[in-house]
Amino acid sequence: MVEVLNVSSLSKSFGAIKVADDLSFQLELGECLGVIGPNGAGKSTLLNLIVGLIRPDSGRIILDGSDITGLRPHLRARRGIGRAFQIPQPFPHLTVYENVLAAATFAGGMHEDAAAEAAIEVLQLTALFAKAELLAGGLPLIDRKRLEFAKALASQPRLILLDEIAAGLTEPEVARLTEVIGGVKAGYAMIWIEHIPHALRAVADRILVLDFGRKVLEGAPGEVMDSPAVRRIYMGFAADDVA
């Protein structure tokens, strides 16, 4: 298998608060790593460290065999990191097509017709093609979420980072989005932060549990979801404690 991402001993503190505590994990092509943990566990911080919006205090991030720990965010995007933000971050005064075209052009490194074709392809894949000419600022939530995913895909990434992309959507919307993500999964390495267990179970190959910036557990989805440790973190007690 091809290793895409290698995170080793990543640590970051804001004052006395540790948001990443000696985190290490690897990710291979075609693999989806689900990340769960309570609010404030450091899930989004982990993504910010990987994309370079936050600098780690120590540790290394290796993408496709080269160290990107010191690289600025736009250069990491060009190296092949596509990110869908938790709170959608469209370019509101640009059209949906231009939003995706920007990702294909700058992160994807494509130009003219090649960029346009890649953008159209992604729009079709994410069911946004009919809305290509609309301003992104006027889209409803489901389409904003789709646009986040579309921008990440158009970046021609090796690694896709999804931050609660299914949060706030209705059940049928979650099902559709999950289907799209599952459909393209084989071509990328993926990290998916999500609070919706069945969405993760359907797509993720492994699940990483974070709490206070530490890795509590890493393993197969069923195993992790059913473990007493996860129940204790989420609900304050494990099934065993009650019984």
Partner 1 sequence: MHLRLVSGVVASILLSAGAPFVLGDGALRLWTEALLILTMAQMWNLLAGYAGLVSFGHQVFVAAGAYALFLAAEALNVSPYWVLPLAPLAAAFLAALVALPLFRLRDAYFSIGIWVFSEIVATLVTKSSLTGATAGLPLKTSSLMDLDWFEPTLFWIASVLALAATAGLLLLMRSEFGLGIMSVRDNDVAAMSVGVDVQRNRLIVFVISAAGCGAAGAVNFLSNLYLSPASAFDVSWVVNMMFIVVIGGIGTLEGPIIGTLLFFALREIVTGQLGLSGGWYLVALGSVAVGTMLWSPRGLWPALSARWGLRFMSVERKAPRLALQDKPNND
- 220 with 241: CB under 8 angstroms? no
Using the contact rule CB under 8 A, the part of the chain among 9-17, 61-69, 110-118, 205-213 near partner 1 is: 110-118
DSSP secondary-structure letter at 136? G
Minimum CB distance to partner 1 smaller for 93 or for 140: 93
Alpha-helical segments (H) within 87-188: 96-106, 112-125, 141-154, 171-184
Strands 58-63 and 3-14, by their bridges, are antiparallel
Using the contact rule CB under 8 A, the part of the chain among 32-40, 59-67, 104-112, 176-184 near partner 1 is: 104-112
Q: Name the residue among 38, 45, 51, 34 with its Cα closest to residue 11.
A: 45
Beta-carbon count within 10 A of 173 CB: 15
Q: Within positions 147 to 186, which residues make up the interface with partner 1, using CB under 8 A?
A: 151, 154-155
188 binds partner 1 (CB under 8 A): no
| C-alpha distance across the termini of the chain, in Å | 43
Shortest distance, CB of residue 207 to partner 1, whole angstroms? Answer: 25
66 binds partner 1 (CB under 8 A): no
Using the contact rule CB under 8 A, the part of the chain among 21-29, 35-43, 109-117, 187-195 near partner 1 is: 109-117
Tell me which of 98, 121, 173, 205 binds partner 1, using CB under 8 A: 98
Cα distance between residue 179 and residue 172, in whole Å: 11
Q: Which residues contact 191 (CB under 8 A, 6 or more apart)?
A: 5, 27, 32, 33, 35, 46, 47, 50, 159, 160, 161, 162
User: What would the DSSP string read from start to end of 38-95?
Assistant: -TTSSHHHHHHHHHTSS--SEEEEEETTEE-TT--HHHHHHHTEEEE-SS----TTSB
Tell me which of 6, 21, 28, 53 binds partner 1, using CB under 8 A: 53
Cα distance between residue 129 and residue 120, in whole Å: 7
Shortest distance, CB of residue 77 to partner 1, whole angstroms? Answer: 4
Q: Within positions 9 to 38, which residues make up the interface with partner 1, using CB under 8 A?
A: none
Minimum CB distance to partner 1 smaller for 11 or for 89: 89
Site size toward partner 1 (CB under 8 A) is 40
51 binds partner 1 (CB under 8 A): yes
**16: its two tokens:** 């006395």
Tell me which of 6, 11, 26, 89 binds partner 1, using CB under 8 A: 89
213 binds partner 1 (CB under 8 A): no
117 binds partner 1 (CB under 8 A): yes
Residues near partner 1 (CB under 8 A) are 51, 53, 72-75, 77-78, 83, 85, 89-95, 97-99, 101-103, 105-109, 111, 113, 116-117, 119-120, 123, 132-133, 151, 154-155
